[in-house]
Amino acid sequence: MNLGYLLLMIILLSSIYLLNKNKMKKSFFLAGSVAIVATLSIISCSKQNNSTNNNSSTTSSTNSNGPTYIATLSLTPQGIPTGTNFSGTLFVLAKWTSGNQSINYSATANFFNIPPANPLLPTATNSVQIGSVYVNDSALMWSTSNSTYYGGKDLMGYTTWVISAGASSIPSFTHTCTQPFPGVGAYPGGITINRANGYSINGLVYGGYDMIEATISDASGHDTTISENGSPPTFSAGALSTLLPGTGYLNVTMYTYDGEAVSGKNFLFVTGTIASTQTVTLQ
């Protein structure tokens, strides 16, 4: 039984007894008035405490609906994410120059109302503009010509994206990429590629990637590209047969992926390393 109601019953019983005795009426009135006020205070406090507890439960329930990481991404043998529809692809790229001795950073972001078949190759016609995009406190600019957000600054260490939806259907969120930039080693000098024998870049030092992409081109602009999500790519003799002998170039890019689901939409975060272009000899 509620303590306030119990106290009130005691007071009423005492009232009947005192009235029958016809004594201390004035004293009973004063004592009863104070007790009733105290009883109402107890009941009021009990209701306020119940109200506070209900608000806490609601807040806790709301907080449980926040962004969730996509623990495992399915990849094709070429290292392309598959099986998940992405409403946005956000890149941070570290490009090595001067024989992998210095580095420049860049960032791009695309958002989609209709997820593309390949999230690594967004199309301008499928990309939408949102409120704002920040990466490590630097605002990315919107390009109307290719419908892409772009920009760059010193992005060493982890990368934090801050997305503001504006009037778009893309949700606002903040995401910190925990994947480090893939490692790249120094190129050995004097690489000669015999086109008839094929070529593997396995001898070069790379590590920590979900996808590795390599391109070999000749001085006339012909090129061949291959990507893998496992061992470093191996070019077949047939793929290299389209290249002309003489001076050639080797380019290698590595990506790691991070995924997050926000308000029923999936977003792909790509951290990439672009090795500096290596001059080779094609035979």
Residue ending a domain, among 19, 48, 63, is: 63
Question: How many domains does the structure of the chain reveal?
Answer: 2
Q: What is the mean pLDDT of residues 62-87?
A: 72
Q: Do both 142 and 280 map to the same domain? A: yes
- pTM to 2 decimals? 0.69
Contact criterion met (CB below 8 Å) for 273 and 184:
yes
Q: Do both 151 and 199 map to the same domain? A: yes
- For residue 195, the 8-state DSSP code is G
Q: Do both 150 and 274 map to the same domain? A: yes
Which residue did the predictor score with more confidence, 44 or 224? 224
Q: How far apart are the C-alpha atoms of 129 and 164, rounded to whole Å?
A: 11
Q: How far apart are the C-alpha atoms of 272 and 253, rounded to whole Å?
A: 7
Which residue did the predictor score with more confidence, 220 or 117? 220
Confidence of residue 270 (pLDDT cuts 50, 70, 90): very high
Q: Do both 95 and 186 map to the same domain? A: yes
What do you get for the CA distance between the two ends of the chain, in Å? 96
For the segment 200-220, what is each residue's pLDDT rounded down to a tens digit? 887 665 677 889 999 999 999
In sequence order, the 6+-apart residues with CB closer than 8 A to the CB of 196 are 237, 240, 241
Which residue did the predictor score with more confidence, 94 or 197? 197
Q: Do both 37 and 78 map to the same domain? A: no
Residue ending a domain, among 63, 78, 104, is: 63
Residue 230 reports pLDDT greater than 80: no
Q: Do both 53 and 81 map to the same domain? A: no
Q: Do both 17 and 96 map to the same domain? A: no
Q: Do both 14 and 39 map to the same domain? A: yes
Which residue type is seen at 39? Answer: T
Nearest of 257, 252, 271 to residue 186 by alpha carbon: 252
Q: Do both 109 and 49 map to the same domain? A: no
What's residue 185's pLDDT?
66
Q: Do both 133 and 266 map to the same domain? A: yes
Q: What is the mean pLDDT of residues 97-109?
A: 75
